[in-house]
């Protein structure tokens, strides 16, 4: 077992600025921040196909670890997951005015991956 220290960088764009002149008001991203904390802060990540998954579930049930089961715990998949969460929030709130077009998931200074795409609903 080993732990991760994940951090994320987000890139946003908009087809027009909001009423305050922002692409995205960062103070409005607290739900995204909460979701990232819930998933990645002091949690134990395992793939759905981990051969010890039943053991990890038992340890979670006993309070020994805070388990999160993911299809893929890799940095690339984590970047894509965070990209999806950011766009879910923005699309629901801004009705397509802004989007997240890139997310970098970083494990440490030497290991990071980016996911980059425009959501199909966004019209630049």
Digit-coded pLDDT (tens) for 83-114: 999 999 999 999 899 999 999 999 988 899 99
Spans in the chain with pLDDT lower than 70? 1-4
Query: Cα separation of 69 and 81, whole Å?
Result: 13
Query: What's the pLDDT at 90?
Result: 96
Residue 2 falls within a domain, yes or no?
A: no
Query: Cα separation of 85 and 31, whole Å?
Result: 9
Closest alpha carbon to 122 in 36, 23, 19: 23
Query: What's the pLDDT at 108?
Result: 87
Query: Cα separation of 45 and 5, whole Å?
Result: 11
Residue 63 falls within a domain, yes or no?
A: yes
Residue 34 falls within a domain, yes or no?
A: yes
Query: Residue 5: which residues within 8 A CB-CB, separation 6 or more?
Result: 107, 108
Domains in the chain, number: 1
Q: Domain with 62 in it: what CATH number?
A: 3.30.479.10
Residue 80 falls within a domain, yes or no?
A: yes
Q: CA end-to-end span of the chain, whole Å?
A: 44
Residue 1 falls within a domain, yes or no?
A: no
Residue 15 falls within a domain, yes or no?
A: yes
Query: What's the pLDDT at 3?
Result: 65
Query: What's the pLDDT at 124?
Result: 87
Query: What's the pLDDT at 44?
Result: 93
Provide the domain limits for residue 55: 7-116
Q: What's this model's pTM, rounded to 2 decimal places?
A: 0.92
């Amino acid at each position: 077992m080993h732990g991760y220290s994940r951090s994320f960088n987000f890139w946003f764009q908009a087809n027009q600025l909001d009423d305050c002149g922002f692409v995205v008001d960062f103070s409005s991203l607290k739900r995204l921040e909460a979701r990232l904390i819930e998933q990645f802060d002091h949690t134990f990540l395992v793939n759905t196909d981990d051969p010890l998954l039943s053991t990890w579930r038992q340890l979670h049930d006993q309070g020994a670890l805070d388990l999160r089961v993911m299809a893929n715990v890799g940095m690339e998949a984590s970047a894509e997951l965070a990209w999806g969460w950011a766009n879910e929030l923005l699309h629901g709130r801004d009705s397509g005015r802004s989007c997240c077009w890139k997310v970098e998931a970083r494990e440490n200074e030497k290991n990071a991956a980016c996911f980059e795409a425009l959501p199909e609903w966004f019209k630049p």
